[in-house]
Amino acid sequence: IGFELDVEGDEGIESIDGSGHYCTDDYVELHANVKPGHVFVGWYDGDGKLLCATAHFDFLAYNAPIFAKTVKGAMLDLLRMDGIMTTTSRTVPLGEPCTLSVEESGCRFLGWYTPEGDLVSASREYTFTPTADVRLIARSDSTWFEGSERLEWKLSGDYSDDVTVTLKDKYSRYFINRYTGVTSGTADLIPGTYEIVAEGTLEDGTRSTETKTYEIEGDISRRYCWMFGDSPEHIEWTVKYSEYSKFRDSDIDRSPAEEDRLRFTDYTSDGIRSLAGILLQKTAGMTDLECADYVLKFVQRCTEYQDDKKTYDRSEYWKFPLETIVERGGDCEDTSILFCSIMKAMGFETALLVYEPWKYDEGHMAGSVALDQGAGSFYTRNGLKFYYCETTSDNLYVGDDGGMEEYDEATILVLGENDKQLQ
């Protein structure tokens, strides 16, 4: 007969996925969607005992009440300059100590500053207790974005003198400069895509926020910073704008049929081959497994997850590797294609692992690399062991599938088989 799972949330819970009718010992997956300004605390039973401290809760169904609880939070809005790695922006509990940390990677950390330019702390580890939302900038001595190309920007709105304007690199979100009380200006920069974000009061008294994007054409230079174990790593790489735009502007179907999926794997272009060459130098002397882990961490931590629906207003939008790494982001298929393409260009056998959406509630893609000596999850193809590589998690290594019990069968697409790359 079964029962309705008794699930409730407090005022900080927007909604709960997974509630409904169950029989005893059915598999249940609950997920709490938290309102902005709140922090999830945990799932509790009727006696107040903590059952799970994460918003996603898996268990076998039983007929008893379950409560999702939150606390009020403060938003940490953190910007950083190039050449350092910092704690990410997030919501933290109000009134509880919070620690911000910095790792230097190619540049020297100068301190935590307010948007107004006041130094808050010069310590690489800064602990404080937030009582309201906090905005801070982690400054470095980087001059990476300084160049000979002139960017001229101008706001559309008729702002009063309280307007503040932030100049950022669009894809990395690195902070470059800040302007106050002006509605136009110039900056000398390297080629790239930049974003101007203005906040202030219009002459009619209304508050306004304005975002404008500017593109400076020319060879695209990138610096990537990430952690490999306890070691801060960074590389510098340049790709021709014409090569990147060829892929970006391609008229290829971005929701490809099964037979066209491997067309997105680009491991022969000059850009990917030069990136692979840099990574080969960085991994010289490593074992094959260490090399694969190094490249996997590079892909995981130098790209941000981007939802196709939010970014492109499409349910699917596959990207080429050069698009993903230049734009520093993509979803599971984009970062998996990037990882496999780089590793293939480095001389490894690689394969895409496709978990078909018609077979599973949610489709997924991961990368894989063939290794003689590995550990963890793998698929066998052509006598080779292709070890699972999850590109959307910062914490998983080669062979670690994160306990994905819901996925078992994958379509294995080996790069180089029936090659159909974009020419």
Q: What is the dihedral of CA 214, 217, 218, 220, to 10 degrees?
A: 50
CA distance 234 to 304: 17
Contacts of 253 (CB under 8 A, 6+ apart): 260
How many Cβ atoms from other residues are within 10 Å of residue 187's Cβ? 20
Phi then psi for residue 369, to 5 deg, are -135, 140
pLDDT at 405: 65
Look at residue 418 in the predicted model and tell me its pLDDT. Answer: 67
Q: What is the mean pLDDT of each run of 10 residues along the chain (423 residues)?
A: 93 95 93 95 96 95 96 95 93 94 96 95 96 96 96 94 95 94 96 95 94 94 93 95 94 94 95 98 97 98 91 93 96 97 98 86 90 93 95 94 77 83 47
Integer Cα distance of 297 and 226 in angstroms: 8
Can you give the pLDDT at residue 423?
43
109 strand-pairing partners: 140
What's the confidence (pLDDT) of residue 406? 63
Q: Give the pLDDT score at 188.
A: 97
Rg of the chain over all Cα atoms, to the nearest angstrom:
24
Q: Give the pLDDT of residue 274.
A: 98
pLDDT value at position 91?
94
The number of C-alpha atoms within 13 Å of 423 and in the hemisphere containing its C-beta is: 2
Quick one: pLDDT at residue 1? 72
